[in-house]
Structure 1
Amino acid sequence: MNVPRAPPAVLQNPGFAHYSVKWSPFHTTRIALASSANFGLVGNGRLHLVTVNAGPGAGTLRLDKQYDTQDGLYDVAWSEIHENQLVTGSGDGSLKLWDAMLNDLPIRAWHEHTREVFSVDWSNIKKDTFASSSWDGTVKIWTPEHPRSVATITAHHSCVYQALFSPHQPDVLATCSTDGTLRIFDLRAPAYVASGPTTNNFTNPLSASALTIPASNTEVLSIDWNKYRPFLLASGGVDKAVKVWDCRMVKLGGNETGAVGGNCETQLLGHEYAVRKVQWSPHRAEVLATASYDMTARVWNTMPPAGQSQLMYIHDAHTEFVVGCSWSLYDEGVLATCGWDSRLNVFRI
């Protein structure tokens, strides 16, 4: 297995369990962290903005700013059009847009979800659009300039853990849920009907997915699109297995689900507890990072040379659940991880 070139750079933020870590798409050294007090069960949240300073290995970490919220933060996404803006999803069902040039309050807020917002994702193609998914079973599409969401997806009948725009097709969105499915939606589907001024502009939300993949008998907690192969998705969840899906393998389904299918290309086995996060490398099509409740993050090669292991590296420096991981967009081989131990680790594979 590969090993880090130097010990990880570490930033400790006592009192807050980290839930999500994201590198800036504009700045090579900026990281955002979404965190919650009391492990996200009750209490405040905090958004941390961190800079990676030059140094041996992955350098050192400096906390630049922090923003406190009245409820826990579960996810964060950088804007794709404004280098200093980012959106967070909160335990009270709200979304907030922040500007790193300001010191305290968010510049916008939305509150349509009725339960925890567990993921936010900013489209890197349609750069004025982001998505949120919630434990209320819905996915909502937003633009920063609108006071309300511009679309709602209600195909899942249970908690939607993650919703991600395809990096290849601007109107394609994938979701995962407690129902064990991955679903892919075409947002161009004519499924909307205009409504009155007191409602959310749509009375007939998109409810039929273009493709449903029965990925697991248990909850699917995380998905990610491959950055080089447009039809490839990775998933991870409670069954401890990481699976890679070819979404072109479909068959006709019922009226509610549309097409059903998805071919599992490979399974990555080794995590001892649920897999909380999966993320493909932005630099290599075959490399995937995962974070797990077994207190490790792992790096995999999904297409290893003959005779070599799929497992490239185990990062076991955390002392609590590892729930977030994020590849640097500019520096190949640099990975950030965060966990319930209040630690942010950055290291080079």
Structure 2
Amino acid sequence: MASMLEFRTPGFNPYAVKYSPYYDSRIAVASAANYGIVGNGRLFCLGLGPQGIQTARYRRNTANLAFEASTPTMPSMTLAWSEINENQLLAACGDGSVKLYDVNVNEFPVMNFHEHKREAYSVAWSPVTKDTFASSSWDGTIKILIQAASKWSPTRTESIRTLPVGNCTYSTSYCPSNPNIISAVSTDSHLRIFDLRTPVNAQYHLTAKIPVHQPPSVPMPPGVSPPFMPAEILTHDWNKYRDTVIATGGVDRVIRTFDIRNPNSGPASIMMGHDYAVRRLAWSPHAADILLSASYDMTVRLWTDGSTMAADESSSPVKPGLQLGIMNRHTEFVTGVDWCLFGTGSWVATVGWDERVLLWDANTMLQGRS
């Protein structure tokens, strides 16, 4: 594939990558030694310049970023850039903590939030209010925390709310247009939607519980036959242009989209092609129908969910998504993918357990070069 830049992380296996929402030349990577089984973690802040990708900041002695050897399944680590401070980012850690880092402060971390009882698995910053963030954990809860809009110091380290999921919660995220709506996916094969404006009752703001594996109530498109057995859902992402649409992916290798306005109608589209579990999803911030997926099959795939394509001759309202291209330069599990918010709208970053960070132009997929 042409137009590819590479950075190596010797001795550390990347788990997640995020472009800065402020600069097109800044990228953060979370990694762990020994595949996260034992040892230290390292958080990289990378800069993109005339000489390619270079290390801007990193810390070696962050032992809690690594996962404990006793974890029963393959763990992960995620990170999120602050929405109110261009130099700060959060990392979910193996001891159940969420740590706030500042690339300009020598003492790391600058804050430590520690309420989860097991591994913290994901973090997400509210893109609307910008002063709150959420974390999810193997302990089956989502914690919501608030940060003051000061230069860099939050005012409290205790959560303002806890949302019980009851199962290992791999991913949580905010609706891109409504700070009161939070989503989560978990081991029980469900996508949950919480609305913080609802009364606190026995459901703890739960407004929808969508069984991802459930077959739709309408006929499937010809040639599309995904498995309908429950499977762990590892990742999900909100569409940036259609703020009621969410994509999910997990162990059954299938990518599905759902419209939360019709939680009982089943998937709106189905995309199949990965050989192993889908580890990470990312909708394009530049096109309403385009998304990327990263998988344990060592590939990254570009898709359209079919929403902008002409209707086919079948009577099924379920759209058969289309794979537009595949990137297979990684030689181990691909664990992270993210889009650059700036520029031509096609640059992405991917990371994998092969100790590599790759930056490349997704448009090359559309041109048949992979």
Change (3 A) 1:10 1:135: same
Match runs of 1:43-58 below 5 Å: 43-54=39-50
Q: How does 1:293-304 map to 2 (within 5 A)?
A: 293-303=296-306
CA shift digits 1:25-57 (9 cap, x unpaired): 1111110011111111122111100112258xx
Q: Aligned equivalents of 1:174 and 1:121: distance in 2?
A: 10
**Runs of 4 or more above 3 Å deviation:** 304-309
Q: Distance in 2 between matches of 1:113 and 1:305?
A: 43
Q: Counterparts of 1:283 and 1:129 in 2: how far apart (Å)?
A: 25
Which residue matches 2:336?
324
Aligned position for 2:220: none
Task: Give 1:115 shift.
Answer: 0.6
The whole-number CA distance in structure 2 between the counterparts of 1:262 and 1:125 is 28
Please say which of residues 293-302 and 67-76 is displaced more in the overlay.
67-76
In structure 2, stretches of 5+ residues that fail to align are 67-76, 148-154, 214-229, 313-319, 363-370
Q: Indicate the residue corresponding to 1:179 in structure 2.
A: 188
Where does residue 59 of structure 2 map in the other structure? 67
Structure 1 residues not aligned, in runs of 5+: 193-203, 251-260
Whether 1:226 aligns to 2:236 is no
Q: Distance in 2 between matches of 1:129 and 1:102?
A: 22
Q: In structure 2, what is the Cα distance between the partners aligned to 1:62 and 1:180?
A: 40
**What's the % identity of the aligned pairs?**
42
Q: TM-score, normalised by structure 2?
A: 0.82
Distance 2:196 2:156 in 1: 18
Alpha-carbon distance in structure 2 between the residues aligned to 1:53 and 1:211? 45
* CA shift digits 1:170-201 (9 cap, x unpaired): 11000000000000001122328xxxxxxxxx
Contact 2:198 2:205 (8 Å CA) reproduced: no
The corresponding residue for 2:166 is 157
> Which residue matches 1:257?
none
Which structure features the higher share of strand residues?
1
Shift of 1:305: 4.2
Question: Who is 1:254 aligned against?
Answer: none
Q: What pairs with 1:234-253 in structure 2 (closer than 5 Å)? A: 234-250=247-263
The AA in structure 2 aligned to 1:314 is: I
Shift of 1:208: 4.8
Q: Deviations over 1:85-143 (max 9, x none)?
A: 11111001011111111234211111110111110001110100000000000000011
Q: Which of 93, 96, 100 in structure 2 is aligned with 1:90?
A: 93
Deviation at 1:348, TM superposition (A): 0.5
Give the count of matched residue pairs: 318
Match of 2:277 in 1: 274
